[in-house]
Amino acid sequence: MLTLASYVSTLALFGWTTLPTPAAPATTVAVVDPAPISLLPETEEERNERMRWWRESRFGMFIHWGLYAIPAGEWNGKNVSGAGEWIINTAQIKTADYQPLIKQFNPVKFDAKRWVEIAKNAGMRYIVITSKHHEGFGLWDSALTEWDIASTPFKRDVLKELADACQAEGIRLCFYHSIMDWTHPDYLPRRSWDPRPDVKADFGRYREFMKGQLKELLSGTYGDIGVLWFDGEWESTWTHEFGVELDDYVRSLKKDIIINNRVDVGRDGMVGFSKEPKFRGDFGTPEQQIPATGAPGMDWETCMTMNDTWGFHKNDHNWKSNETLIRMVSDIASKGGNFLLNVGPTAEGEIPPQSVERLAAIGAWMKTNGEAIYATDASPFASLTWGRATAKRVAGGTKIFLHVWEWPKDGKLVVPGLLNTVKSAQVLGASEAAAFESHGGNVVVTLPASAPDAIATVVALEIEGSPNIIGPVRLKPAREVFVNAVQLGAEPMPQGIVVRFTTDGSEPTKDSKELTAVALRNTTTVNARAFLGDEPVGETTVRTYERLTPWSNFLERQAENTMPRRAIVEGEFNSVAELRAKLPDTAEWPIDRKIAFETPKSPKDNFGIGFRGLLRVPYEGLWSFRLGSDDGSTLLIDRKIVVDNDGLHSYRELEGYAPLTRGLHLIEVFMFERTGQEGLKLQWSGSNGQWAPVLPGDLLQLSESKR
C-alpha cells in the first residue's frame, strides 16, 4: 500500500496536490427474480443484530450535493436536460474547465442543524450524504487531495457539522461514496472528450487512494457511520475481485457497518438486486422504482428523487405530489423495503423549498401513522384492492396496519381471507375504537363515513397469533393469452380449501364447479374463488384468457432480401424514432454473418444501432421476448412492436410476447445510447419457459452460393 507521502508525491505529477488553474494542463439508472444478497461469515443472529437499526428505520434522506450545484443543470448558458450531478459527463466538460468551480463554492446558507431538523420532522431516521460523487470532489477535508471542501472559500467541514447535528438529534449518518471518479488522474476508463496528462494512469493506485479516503471517513471523526452506500461500479475497470477486496477492507475498519450491493458488480441495472448470491452487499438498491411484489427474504431500499434529478437542477420542476410520496412511503414499507428519498441542496446550501414542503407533508402523516411504518414487516396479504398493509409482532399476537387508500363508499372495509380472531380495531389518530365483525373468511371493519386522511388512513387491527390468511386464487398459467389451447388450473391452496369457478360472468358459489384442470380453446373470462366448506374466503379472482391468432411467417424465397444486417450511426438521440429517422435505407445496411444483439465496442457514447433479419421459429406458439438496454430500445417482430423499452433511462429489461407460426419471421431491433453505461440484451422463451439469448444461429444465413 502506498504511504500518504508517496501518494501525494505521485499525485504531484498530475498537478493534484495544488489545485490546477484553468490555464494548467488538463488533469482530468421488475423482470428478473433477484438473487439473495450475499452473506458474510456471520450467524443469522449476528446479521439480524447488525441490520436491526436499518430495518426498523424504514425511511431515510438521500442528499446529493457537490460542485454540480453551482451550474445547476446549465453549462455555457444552455440547459442540459437531466444533468444535475451528471453534468460533467452529459455536457462533456473537460476537467480543466470544471475545476474552477471549486473557487466559487461558498454555501453561506448551509445549516447542518436545519438540514437534520427537516429530515427528523419528516420522520426520517437516517441520512445518506454524498461524501464524494462521480465528480471526485469531497465534502470533507481530506489529507489525500486538495480537491475537497477545504480548498473552497467556504472551507468548513460539511460532514463534521452534519455528524454533530445528527448525533444531537438521534439521526444515523451514512455516506454515499462513488467508485467512479471523472476527474481523478488515476481513474480508468478515461473519457475520450477529456484529455489527460501524458503520465500513465494507474488504476491500482486509484483504488488505494479510495481506500485511504474511506479510512478517513470511518476514523471516528464523523461518529458511528451506519451505511457506506457505494455507486459507479458499472464501468469495465471495476471487477468482482475488486468489489470483494473493497468490501473486506471497509469491514476491517468497521465490523458492524452496512454496505449496499453496489460495492460489487452483480447489480441487475436499476432493478437493483444482485444477479447471483456470490456478489457482495447487505441490501439491494432499486433506483427510481418500487419492486412490484417486494423481495421476500431480502433487504432492499428504493432510492427516489422528488423531481427528475438527484443534484440541484434549476430547470427541473417536475415535482411529485404529496399524495404520490406519502403513498410511496406506505407502499415500500408494505413490501418490506426501506425508502431513501432524495434532496438536492442549492449551491448556497439550502434544501429547495419544494422539497421542504413535501417533506413537511410526509412528516405530518408520519406523526399520526409512523407506528405503521417503523419496525414493521411486509404485508401478510398477497394483494388488497383498497390499499396496502404492514404488520408488527406484539405480545400475544400481531398488529396488522391497514393503509386505506380508497375509502369504502358504504363505510365497510372488507379485510379478505383473515381467519384469525380479531381483538381490536382502531383508526390511528382516532380516540374511539372501530367496530368489526367476521363474515366467513373475511373481517369487516366499520369506518367513519369519510376518510380522516384522504391520502392514506391507517386502521390498526390487533389479532391473536400470527396472521392466518387465505389469499386470492392464483390461476395458472399467469399469462392471459394463448395460441390454440391452454390448460387452466390453480396454484395449490391450504388443506381444506376448495377453488370453485364460473365462465358465465357470475360470482362462484358453493354449488359452482371445482377447478382442477380445464382446457380453454376460445377466449374465456374466468371467475374463481376459494371456499372453506360452504363459505367463500377472500376475494374473487377474475381473469380473461384471450386466444390469439399466430402471425404468418415469411416464405423462404422472400428471405434473400431480409438477411441479417446491422447499421451503426453516431448522434445524440432521445428516442428510437429519432434514431430510425437517421438510419440509412435498410438495403444499405452491411450484411453481418455473425450478427449478435449486443452493443458495439465503439463508439462508447452518443450512437444508435439497428438490427434486421429473419428469426427461425421452431414451432407454433406464444413466444416471449425480453429486451434490456441502456438507453432506449424497441423490438419489432413482423413489423409489430413486441417490446417498447424506449426513452432515456439506465439499464432496464422489459418483456413482451408474440404469437408466431413455425418458420421465418422478420425481426428488427433498434437501440440508442447517450452517455454512461451502454448495454443491449435480447432473450426469448417458448413453451418450456426457459430463457435463452437470441444467437446468430437463430437468424437466417444465406448459403455460400447465394452470397
Rounded to the nearest angstrom, the gap between the alpha carbon of residue 628 and the centroid of all alpha carbons in its chain is: 14
Co-location of 334 and 435 in the same domain: no
Establish if 382 belongs to a structural domain: no
Alpha-carbon separation of residue 543 from 293, 472, 492, 623, 649 (angstroms): 19, 12, 18, 20, 32
Q: pLDDT above 70 covers what percent of the chain?
A: 91
Return the number of other C-beta atoms located less than 10 Å from residue 522's C-beta. 8
Of 441, 464, 487, the residue at which a domain comes to its end is 464
Number of domains in the chain: 4
Residue 235 predicted with pLDDT over 80 = yes
Co-location of 448 and 496 in the same domain: no
pLDDT of residue 490: 95
How confident is the model over 272-321, as pLDDT tens digits? 999 888 999 999 999 999 999 899 989 999 999 999 999 999 999 999 99
Mean pLDDT of 331-349: 98
pLDDT of residue 556: 55
Establish if 607 belongs to a structural domain: yes
> Is residue 50 helix, strand or coil?
helix
Name which residue leads in pLDDT, 605 or 692.
692
Omega cis (within 30) before 605: no
Establish if 576 belongs to a structural domain: yes
CATH number at residue 418: 2.60.40.1180
Establish if 154 belongs to a structural domain: yes
Establish if 322 belongs to a structural domain: yes
CATH number at residue 122: 3.20.20.80
Co-location of 605 and 645 in the same domain: yes
Co-location of 195 and 342 in the same domain: yes
Co-location of 458 and 537 in the same domain: no
pLDDT of residue 503: 96
Return the number of other C-beta atoms located less than 10 Å from residue 510's C-beta. 11
C-alpha cell belonging to residue 702: 444465406
Strand residue runs (E) in 153-236 = 172-178, 227-231
C-alpha closest to that of 94 among 145, 141, 24: 24
How confident is the model over 62-86, as pLDDT tens digits? 999 999 999 999 999 999 988 899 9
How confident is the model over 86-115, as pLDDT tens digits? 999 999 999 999 999 999 999 999 999 999
Establish if 553 belongs to a structural domain: no
Co-location of 202 and 81 in the same domain: yes
C-alpha closest to that of 229 among 144, 147, 301: 301
Co-location of 273 and 404 in the same domain: no
| CA pair distance 567, 562, nearest whole angstrom | 14
Which range, of 112-126, 388-402, 490-504, 665-679, averages the lowest pLDDT? 665-679
Of 343, 372, 401, the residue at which a domain comes to its end is 372
Residue 32's pLDDT band (cuts 50, 70, 90): very low
pLDDT of residue 8: 35
Establish if 620 belongs to a structural domain: yes
Co-location of 569 and 510 in the same domain: no
Establish if 657 belongs to a structural domain: yes
Mean pLDDT of 641-661: 92
Co-location of 346 and 438 in the same domain: no
Q: What is the mean pLDDT of the chain?
A: 89
Co-location of 134 and 276 in the same domain: yes
Name which residue leads in pLDDT, 560 or 195.
195
Residue 36's pLDDT band (cuts 50, 70, 90): low
Co-location of 119 and 152 in the same domain: yes
pLDDT of residue 64: 98
Of 443, 464, 485, the residue at which a domain comes to its end is 464
Question: Residue 333's domain spans which residues?
Answer: 4-26+57-372
pLDDT of residue 40: 67
Residue 271 predicted with pLDDT over 90 = no
| CA pair distance 464, 399, nearest whole angstrom | 9
Co-location of 290 and 175 in the same domain: yes
